[in-house]
Amino acid sequence: MTQSPDNPLNRGELLNSYYMLGLTLARMDRLPQAEDAFRQAIDIYEKAPTPMDRTGYRTVLPSLQSELGNVLAARGQTKEAEKAHRKAVILGEKLAYQFPDIPPYRQSLASYYLALAKTLVKNDRRDEAAKLGDLVIDLTEKLTAESTDETQPKYQSTRNLLGWGANLRDAGEFQGAEKALRKALELAKKVADEAPNDTSGQYRLAETYAALGSVLQRTRQYPEGADAYRAYLAVSEKLAAALPADPDYRHLKATAHNFLGVALRHLPKEMDNVVPHHRQAVQILEPLVVKFPNQTQYRRQLVRSHYALGITLTITGKWTEVESHYRQAITTAAPLADQTVDPIPSCHNNLAWVLATCPDGKLRDPKRAVELARKAVELAPKDAGIWNTLGAAEYRAGSYQEARAALYKSMQLRQGGDSFDWFFLAMVHWQLDEKGKAREWHDRAVQWMEKNQPTNAELGRFRTEAAELLGVK
């Protein structure tokens, strides 16, 4: 017997099938197909002969609109995404008003507010987004106060607040981000305390500490940021110990070591503790990369570990090890399909810089420095600092015309540049027998340095080198 599509049961199953298909395609990053699936599901709902909002499907339409909005936003169609998210909010508010005694409806409404707020941030309407963010926080606090011993409402609220805080952080709205993330942390701690053996709650707590730590770092609250990352590491260690067979938790632990190491670089009294954290990350990640070569997240974190060691050892002047770790970072990154994602271009750039400008002349290799800097420019052509490195490397290699072109490109990208360009540019012009220009750039470099970075040891070396070449006393 042929089943009729007008049968409510069949229609509901078809709607659900399109909905689940859309979710699956979205996770696979097949966004056009996901959009089509969600629109098909919405069309089935809206054209149903019998209204479906009085059935068990009443929550489906706002959820579909929200998922459609997410896909449209991911495709860069932010205006269309805003329309879909607004529809989700209107429908969600209606359900929350009609059924005030059903907390999941208000929980879903908070997620719809959040999705719309994220889209408004992308559309540069941050004041409107902030008001919605406040609604998310208010709803979260009310739902948490109403809940008894159930962790699920708190868990969902934590996720909403964490998402909102991370979104504000990425948009540069650090005050609002810190407020949202501190609220999220309060809830995440409660969830973790109420269900200490629930790994999902512990993982969310680790994520929240990490997000808060990043905001505190960016706002130069360095001691507090380091404390947040210490807590992040502690939770990660607990998870890795509880589930030693799960490689993702070992990866999480390594990531926490790296974040804490970076944070401690800003605390002079903690510098001795920086390198051990990054070495711990390397020790954890190297066997993971060998055992799971296709898990790119493990490989990328290992690249970041070597890169972080390179930076830290540069600060402490251990040049031989610096070169070694940047080389290991580049070698480790080689199998990755997308070489443009940081820190890969920076690894090429930083090693090129060391080989071109290292205080220990024995470690300099101008030819190799030029090769690495050119590769870095290829990967990140709009990065002014990388063009500056190429200019320095070309100068060391005796390619003065090429050096001048690279340095002028660096200056163009930085609206005029600074002494890192100008000292080398002075030496380049001198070598090209353009003595007047050489002196002009030298004097300009000296003035900028004395005003902005008078104690910068690296600039001091370049200043001395340029003065000796130009015969300046």
What does the longest C-alpha to C-alpha distance in the chain come to? 100
Nearest to 155 by CA among 109, 188, 196: 188
Preceding omega of 247 cis (within 30 degrees of 0): no
Tokens 């420019």 sit on residue:
377
Global pTM?
Answer: 0.78
**Mean pLDDT of the region 144-156:** 63
**Mean pLDDT of the region 146-158:** 64
**What residue segments make up the domains of the chain, in order of their start?**
1-146, 421-473
Residue 53: per-residue pLDDT? 60
Contact 207, 177 (CB under 8 A): no
CA gyration radius, the chain:
28
Centre a 10 Å sphere on the Cβ of residue 149 and count the other Cβ atoms it contains.
6
Nearest to 250 by CA among 239, 261, 259, 260: 239
Token reading at 54: 């009085």
Confidence of residue 4 (pLDDT cuts 50, 70, 90): very low
The predicted-structure confidence for 238-273, as pLDDT tens digits, reads as follows 999 999 999 999 999 999 999 999 999 999 999 999
Residue 150: per-residue pLDDT? 53
Q: How far apart are CA 47 and CA 95, in angstroms?
A: 20
The predicted-structure confidence for 330-378, as pLDDT tens digits, reads as follows 999 999 878 888 899 999 999 999 999 999 889 999 999 999 999 999 9
Residue 275: per-residue pLDDT? 96
Angle between helices 152-170 and 103-122 (to 10 degrees): 10
Nearest to 467 by CA among 354, 396, 459, 395: 459
Token reading at 175: 């005050």
Phi and psi, residue 437, nearest 5°: -65, -35
Contact 266, 243 (CB under 8 A): no
The predicted-structure confidence for 23-44, as pLDDT tens digits, reads as follows 999 988 899 999 999 999 999 8
Q: How far apart are CA 180 and CA 430, in angstroms?
A: 56
- CB burial of residue 36 (10 Å; 0-12, 13-18, 19+): middle
The predicted-structure confidence for 89-132, as pLDDT tens digits, reads as follows 999 999 999 888 888 888 889 889 888 988 888 888 888 888 88
Contact 363, 354 (CB under 8 A): yes
**Mean pLDDT of the region 54-74:** 86
Contact 258, 279 (CB under 8 A): no
Q: Which helix (H) or strand (E) holds 154?
A: helix 152-170
Topology of domain 1-146, CATH:
1.25.40
